[in-house]
Amino acid sequence: MGGGLATLLAVAGTLLGAVVTHLFQRKAADRAQGFAVGQQLRSDRLNVYSDFAGAVTEFRRGQEDRWHRKNEDAAGQAYIEARTESYRLRGVALQALFRVQLIASSQGLVHAAKLAYDKTSVVHRANDSGHLSANGNEATTTLEQFISLASGDVR
């Protein structure tokens, strides 16, 4: 009977060891998967936020170019081309804004992105070069505020 009990204890110990090993391996795998998902989200956010910043920067440049071409010759071909380009850049920036809205972790970050987009949208409406500079600076400042908030989302 002693041999049977020893065999039974050995089998129970082996099974218990297998269950415990399985639980630890499962927990480690879940942790590794969670880490990988977090790293992918961080990478995606970094790409989306930097794409947005680049798109808004180019949009602002296009808005300023549009203003300059209009003041040179409002009926000229250069103005028409600059206006068309500013519309294209607006679309690129709007698409980048939508991506921010989809991936941002907070409404505050989305609001900062919308504000940067909105401030950039009105740059070309300046009455004079001083107003143009002020609009451009305001657009830049709001974009920098977005970047500051976004940096906390990718750390």
pLDDT tens per residue, range 46-74: 999 999 999 999 999 999 999 999 999 99
* Spatial distance between the Cα atoms of 89 and 83, rounded to a whole number of angstroms: 10
Tokens of 24: 């630890």
Residue 30, domain member (yes or no): no
Higher per-residue confidence, 145 vs 36: 145
Residue 15, domain member (yes or no): no
Asked if residue 149 lies in contact with residue 112, where contact means CB atoms within 8 angstroms, the answer is: yes
| Sign, Cα dihedral of 151, 152, 154, 155 | positive
* Spatial distance between the Cα atoms of 21 and 27, rounded to a whole number of angstroms: 10
Cβ-Cβ contacts under 8 Å for 48 (sequence gap 6 or more):
96, 99, 100, 102, 103
Residue 35, domain member (yes or no): no
The pLDDT tens digits for 69-93 are 999 999 999 999 999 999 999 999 9
pLDDT at 135: 97
- The domain containing residue 93 runs over which residues? 43-153
Residue 22, domain member (yes or no): no
The total domain count for the chain is 1
**How does DSSP classify residue 110?**
H
Residue 57's nearest CA partner among 119, 15, 12, 109 is 119
* Spatial distance between the Cα atoms of 128 and 110, rounded to a whole number of angstroms: 31
Residue 13, domain member (yes or no): no
pLDDT at 134: 97
Confidence class of residue 26 from pLDDT cuts 50, 70 and 90?
confident
Is residue 1 predicted with pLDDT exceeding 60?
no
- Is the pTM above the cut of 0.75? yes
pLDDT at 46: 96
CB-based burial of residue 138 (10 Å sphere; 0-12 exposed, 13-18 middle, 19+ buried)? middle
pLDDT at 22: 79
Residue 70, domain member (yes or no): yes
Residue 34, domain member (yes or no): no
Tokens of 134: 């002020």
Rounded to 5 degrees, φ, ψ at 29 are -65, -40
Residue 33, domain member (yes or no): no
Is residue 119 predicted with pLDDT exceeding 70?
yes
